[in-house]
Amino acid sequence: MLLQVLGTAAGGGLPQWNCACPGCAGASAHPHRRRRHASLALRADEDRWYLVNATPDIGDRIEDSPALRPGPGARDTPVAGVILTDAELDHTLGIARLREASGFDVLATRPVHGALTGLMRLHDILAPYTRVEWRELGGEPEPLTKGGAVEIDAVPVSPKRPCYAATVEAANGAGGADGTDDDPAWVVALRLRETATGRSLLYAPALARWTDTFQDAVEAADCVILDGTFWDDDEPLRTGISDRTATGMGHLPIAGPGGTARRLSGLRARCLYTHLNDTNPLCDPDAPQHTLLGEWGLEVAADRMVIEL
């Protein structure tokens, strides 16, 4: 199974266009610190790739990745579709950028599909331009492509809705919720498994709580790419970007008593962090926090990194 890390930054990227915080200023002054929105590309078979989350800069990502570029025909593209972990704008706005394609798949859970086709009306907007096949992403493994070598399923991790679907009434109007506030399929981790080898990857760029089900998924994986939005729980408060803690914003921190590092350290899987906020000290490659991660046997994913399992 072959994957390419297309980006590793949280919402807005690094630098964020309207921000002069130390992280963004550092990335503006030092281009090697730049990070694009968190996303992956997965090779489903020899000539078909799926993008995990469709970020606003999706066109640049495809152009920067030789395996994703069009050809050999003038309008041929290896990009077969998109797999979504949630309905956040940072992970879905790029779907509209694919309208020039003759057709593509979108795999999403039921509430995410409802939000995008109901509230955002993406199906109606794209219908005059291209064919979109919406496929439900569920909790049972199924082949990503017909006769393909990769199976996929979703591990629900959080009921956190995007702001535009924050109320039950809004979500119901989109046809994407069941009238409750606690549908954990609003945010999922993706489990990708190569059938020939049994090797698997767990991708969770947003993680609000660590359940027993998620623990089982982590222990079974050969590689884990996890939410690294904030270094510690007080980071949003300390940096002044929010009046909530990291966990209050729906992201488990890396370090500290409730952090994910202590859970990942010592696992057999290769464990990497992604979705770094611009306030996270790990955005600075010289920050001492990188040394701590190394001591714990963990690492930070890098843009353009290739992972082969």
Q: What is the CB-side half-sphere exposure of residue 306 using CA atoms within 13 A?
A: 7
Q: Which domain range does residue 133 map to?
A: 2-308
Q: Does pLDDT of 174 surpass 80?
A: no
Tokens representing residue 233 in the block? 């729980």
Q: Mean pLDDT score of the chain, rounded to an integer?
A: 93
* Residue pLDDT, tens place only, 55-110: 999 999 999 999 999 999 989 999 999 999 999 999 999 999 999 999 999 999 99
Share of the chain above pLDDT 70, in %: 95
Give the C-alpha separation, 265 to 152, whole Å: 25
Contact 206, 227 (CB under 8 A): yes
- Output the pLDDT for position 176: 46
Number of domains in the chain: 1
Contact 208, 184 (CB under 8 A): no
* Residue pLDDT, tens place only, 33-43: 999 999 999 99
* Residue pLDDT, tens place only, 216-240: 999 999 999 999 999 999 999 999 9
Q: Which CATH number is 194's domain given?
A: 3.60.15.10
* DSSP string for the chain: -EEEEEE-B-TT-BS-TT--SHHHHHHHH-GGG-BPBSEEEEEEETTEEEEES--TTHHHHHHH-GGGS--SSTT--SEEEEE-S---HHHHGGGGGGGGSSEEEEEE-HHHHHIIIIIS-HHHHHTTT-EEEEEE--SS-EESSTT-SEEEEEEEEE-PPPGGG-SHHHHHHTT---S-S--GGGEEEEEEEETTT--EEEEES--S---HHHHHHHHH-SEEEEE-S-SSTTHHHHHTS-SS-TGGGT---SSSTT-SHHHHTT-SSEEEEE-B-TT-GGGSTT-THHHHHHHTT-EE--TT-EEE-
